Amino acid sequence: MTVSPVRQRQRKRKGFVERTVTGVGTAVEQTVYSETYARQDGFLQRVDPRAKLGLFALALLVVGLVHDLALLAGLWLLLLGLGLATRLPFKVIALRTLLGVPLFAGVVALPALFLIDGRPLLSIGSLGPVTLAVSDRAILSVTTFLCRVSVSVTLAALLVLTTRWADLLKALRVFRVPDLFIIILGMTYRYVFLLLRLTENLFLGRASRTVGTTSASEQRRWVGASIGTLMSRSLKLSTDVYAAMVARGFSGEVRTLTACRMRDEDWLFVSLGVVLLGLAWLVDLSR
Partner 1 sequence: MESSELVFRLEGVSYRYHGRHLALDRVDLVVEPGEQLVILGANGSGKSTLLKILDGLYRPTSGRIWAFGEEITDVADDPEGARWLHRRVGLVFQDPDVQLFSPTVYDDVAFGPLQLGWPQEQVRQYVERALRAMEVAHLADRAPYELSGGEKKRVAIATVLAMDPEVILLDEPTANLDPRTRAALVHLIQGMRELGKTVILTTHELDIVPSIATRVVVFGDQERRPVASGHPDEILRDVELLGRTNLIHEHLHWHGELAHTHPHGHEGEHLHEHR
Closer Cβ to partner 1, 77 or 241, answer by number: 241
Q: Cβ closer to partner 1: 241 or 272?
A: 241
Distance CA 156, CA 230 (A): 32
Q: Which stretch binds partner 1 (CB under 8 A): 17-25, 125-133, 140-148, 236-244?
A: 236-244
Q: Which stretch binds partner 1 (CB under 8 A): 77-85, 184-192, 200-208, 268-276?
A: 184-192
Q: How far is the CB of 116 from partner 1 (least distance, A)?
A: 44
- Name which of 281, 287, 32 is nearest 161 in CA terms: 32
According to the binding rule CB under 8 A, does residue 189 interact with partner 1?
A: yes
CA 79/CA 150 separation, integer angstroms: 11
Task: Using the minimum distance from each CB to partner 1, give the nearer residue, 98 or 187.
Answer: 187
Min separation Cβ 243 and partner 1, Å = 5
Closest CB 172 distance from partner 1, rounded Å: 12
Could you say which of 27, 69, 122, 187 contacts partner 1 (CB under 8 A)? 187
CB of 42 to partner 1, least distance (A): 16
Please count the residues of this chain forming the interface with partner 1, following the rule CB under 8 A: 30
| Ranges within 138-177 binding partner 1 (CB under 8 A) | 164-166, 169
Q: Give me the least distance between CB of 241 and partner 1, in Å please.
A: 5
Instruction: DSSP for the chain, please give it.
Output: -PPPHHHHHHHHH--HHHHHHHHHHHHHHHHHHHHHHHHS--HHHHS-HHHHHHHHHHHHHHHHH---HHHHHHHHHHHHHHHHHTT--HHHHHIIIIIHHHHHHHHHHTTHHHHS-SSEEEEEEEETTEEEEEEHHHHHHHHHHHHHHHHHHHHHHHHHHHS-HHHHHHHGGGGT--HHHHHHHHHHHHHHHHHHHHHHHHHHHHHHT--S---HHHHHHHHHHHHHHHHHHHHHHHHHHHHHHHHTT--S----PPPPPPPHHHHHHHHHHHHHHHHHHHHHHH-
CB of 31 to partner 1, least distance (A): 10
Does residue number 241 form part of the binding site for partner 1 (CB under 8 A)? yes
State residue 67 phi and psi, 5-degree precision: -105, -25
Q: Report the site for partner 1 in 192-211 (rule: CB under 8 A).
A: 193-194
State which of residues 136, 218, 240, 265 lies at the interface with partner 1 (CB under 8 A): 240
Residues forming beta bridges with residue 134, ordered by sequence position: 122
- The piece of 75-83, 116-124, 190-198, 263-271 that touches partner 1 (CB under 8 A) is 190-198
Q: Is 259 in the site for partner 1 (CB under 8 A)?
A: no
Q: Is residue 244 close enough to count as binding partner 1 by CB under 8 A? A: yes
Site residues for partner 1 per CB under 8 A: 32, 35, 164-166, 169, 183, 186-187, 189-191, 193-194, 237, 240-241, 243-251, 255-258
